[in-house]
Amino acid sequence: MSNETTHALALAPEDLPKAESFFKPHRIVLIVLFGALVTAIALFMRWDWLPRYLPRLGTGILVSLAMLFSTSILGFLLAVPLGLAQVTGPWFLKGPARLFCTVVRGTPLLLQLWLLYYGLGSLFPQFPAIRQSFLWPYLREAWPYGVAALTISFAAYEGEVMRGAFAGVPQGELEAARAYGMGRWTLFRRIWLPRAVHRALPTLTGETVLQLKSTPLVATITVVDVYAVISKVRQETYLTYEPLLLLALIYMCLTGLLVLAFRYFENRIPTRGA
């Protein structure tokens, strides 16, 4: 599949408006209308539950962010060998890497998550060796399965991106490095990997936003992230819309911050002719 299309689906740095672009007559009217809508929502809907749940919401947001960052970093570390194996690997590495990417990208994340949690989770207790190992206290929890599923998913999507990025580094640059007498490892570390990451960076932004949007799925396996906290609120207060609106707002803020952070980093990398 093509790389540019996946990142068209997530918010990209250029999608966020610039501050000066708000001062046009029709935009001021729209902003006033929007402000009126927000005021109406704040005044006429029930928000008295909010202070009670605020601490739990804070922890939930932290759990969501921890899920996002740990799985993105782990997934990226997996994606580099996956991409490399597909570009230069011998057939016995190339085949499994491609198969892994195809299978993971071809099945829904929710299904993978449930396969790991309910499937492996029901299989593990049958083995005494696992029950007695030091890992057991962790394997009884839900979050390792969430981290595993999200990591695998991120690695598969990003592995495909890295494949394109590794293949797209101009041959001349690699030849120049070889001509300088760099060893294979030095060449990889100094030239090939940094250039590939640079090429993949815009797509990486999109994939990370998509990853943030996948994190609420872990709530279905009892990890208490911000989505799970809001579900709890809905159960306890019998409110339908207010908690969900707040949740949407929280995710919009998180996405916005993430995109701004990536915009900052992308601007810091010097590019010629930009």
| Closer by beta carbon to another protein, 86 or else 215 | 215
Of the candidates 184, 196, 190, 191, the residue with the CA atom closest to the CA atom of residue 83: 196
**Residue 4 structure tokens:** 């540019």
- Give dist(CA 33, CA 242) in Å, integer: 20
Residue with tokens 């309910």: 118
Of the candidates 202, 257, 244, the residue with the CA atom closest to the CA atom of residue 69: 257
Residues 199-228 touching another protein, rule: CB under 8 A, are: 209, 212-217, 220, 227
Q: How many residues sit in the footprint of another protein (CB under 8 A)?
A: 48
Residues 22-61 touching another protein, rule: CB under 8 A, are: 24, 26-27, 30
Q: Per CB under 8 A, does 252 bind another protein?
A: yes
CB 1 within 8 A of CB 160: yes
Residues 136-175 touching another protein, rule: CB under 8 A, are: none
Which of 56, 94, 105, 198 forms a contact with another protein (CB under 8 A)? 105
Query: Helix H segments across the chain?
Result: 3-9, 25-44, 50-88, 91-106, 109-114, 121-123, 128-132, 136-139, 143-168, 171-179, 184-187, 193-214, 226-237, 241-268
Shortest Å distance, C-beta 180 to another protein: 30
Q: Per CB under 8 A, does 123 bind another protein?
A: yes
Binding site for another protein (CB under 8 A): 1-2, 5-6, 8-11, 15, 24, 26-27, 30, 102-103, 105-112, 114-115, 118-119, 122-123, 209, 212-217, 220, 227, 240-241, 244-245, 247-248, 251-252, 255-256
